[in-house]
Amino acid sequence: MEDLQLSEKVTESSNEVQSAGETYLIPMTLPDTQSTPPPKYVIIFDNLDFFIRTHHQSTIHKNQSIHWIHHIAVQDRIPTYHLNNNKPIQDLLEYDLGKSLPDLVQ
C-alpha cells in the first residue's frame, strides 16, 4: 500500500494536537495500484429569466423575453477519495461540532 504524504504544516499541526492528548487524524492509505486521483471539479449553472413589456408596441419596440445563464467551474478544495462510503467514521450524535470549527486563536 502507498502512504499519502502530508505537508509539513499539517504534520506540525497534527503533532501539536497529539501532544495535547487528542487524536483527530484518520490514517489514510491507498492500494499500490491506485494513485492519488486528479482533483474533482463542479460545474455550477444559474439562470435568470425575465420578460420586458413595452408600453407602446411597434414593429421596432416589441415585448422581450430575456434568458441569461451564468456558469462557472470550481475545483473541489477538500479531497474525499480517501473516505469510506460503506460506513460512517463516527455516530453523528456523538460528534463534537467544536472539533470542526476554528477557535478564536485562528
- Of 71, 68, 69, 70, the closest CA to residue 42 belongs to 71
How far apart, in Å, are the Cα atoms of 93 and each of 59, 85, 97? Answer: 66, 19, 10
State how far the Cα of 24 lies from the Cα of 60, in Å rounded to an integer.
67
Residue 23 has pLDDT above 90, yes or no: no
Model confidence over 44-101: pLDDT tens digits? 999 999 999 999 989 888 999 999 999 999 998 887 777 888 888 888 898 888 888 8
pTM score of the predicted model: 0.37
Write down the pLDDT at residue 12: 63
Contact between residue 38 and residue 28 where contact means Cβ atoms under 8 Å apart: no
State how far the Cα of 3 lies from the Cα of 29, in Å rounded to an integer.
5
Write down the domain spans for the chain.
2-99
